[in-house]
């Protein structure tokens, strides 16, 4: 599985208004707290990988499938592989739900993985033209729009990236402003 993603800095109010004008589907708003881990056997910063535990709390809306109210906290473990495309933030991604985030943190600790940093953000999810569009307000980093779609085959990366660029343009955003650095990288670079 690949996640084709383009992220650009943006004024969230302006983009939100444009999404409404275009009748995009507002799905939900969540608060996310991502704890990123360093591996004992290699440097994720050098390999451009990431391992995180994400805790999400619904603030309002429906779940992302759109079929029931969003509520409570969820916990997910995510591994992101190195970038595989020069024109976007496309990478392989593996994610699964977790019943107990504290126990998972204990497992990672027992295996020698150490918390590296925590990224917190308010994230609005929208659906538009087959993409998930997120409006992110990231604590200590800034405001960004991400457009993404999951695909199965590497052959679909290029066409999906081009469709994402077109969709960004419709929203009044320029893919040339793309930021390929993760929120973690931006946070750490800011000190």
Give pLDDT tens digits for 168-183: 999 999 999 999 999 9
Element (H, E) at 128: strand 114-128
Read off the pTM. 0.86
Dihedral angle of Cα 115, 119, 124, 125, to the nearest 10 degrees: -40
Strands 114-128 and 25-38: antiparallel
Tokens representing 162 are 């081009």
What are the chain's domains? 2-190 (2.40.320.10)
Give pLDDT tens digits for 56-80: 999 876 554 444 445 678 999 999 9
* Residue 71 near residue 63 (C-beta atoms within 8 A): no
What pLDDT score does 190 carry? 76
């Amino acid at each position: 599985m690949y996640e084709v993603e383009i992220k650009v800095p943006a004024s969230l109010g302006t983009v939100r208004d444009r999404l409404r004008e275009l009748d995009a589907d507002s799905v939900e708003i969540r608060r996310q707290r991502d704890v990123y881990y360093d591996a004992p056997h290699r440097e994720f910063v050098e390999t451009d990988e990431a391992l995180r535990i994400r805790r999400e709390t619904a603030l309002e809306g429906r779940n992302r499938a759109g079929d029931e109210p969003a509520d409570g906290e969820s916990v997910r473990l995510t591994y992101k592989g190195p970038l595989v495309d020069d024109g976007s933030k496309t990478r392989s991604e593996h994610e699964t739900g977790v019943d107990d985030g504290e126990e998972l943190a204990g497992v990672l600790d027992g295996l020698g993985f150490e918390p590296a940093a925590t990224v917190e953000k308010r994230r609005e999810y929208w659906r538009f033209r087959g993409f998930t569009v997120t409006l992110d307000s990231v604590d200590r980093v800034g405001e960004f729009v991400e457009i993404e779609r999951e695909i199965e085959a590497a052959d679909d990366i290029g066409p999906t990236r081009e469709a994402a660029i077109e969709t960004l343009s419709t929203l009044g955003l320029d893919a040339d402003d793309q930021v390929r650095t993760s929120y973690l990288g931006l946070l750490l670079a800011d000190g």
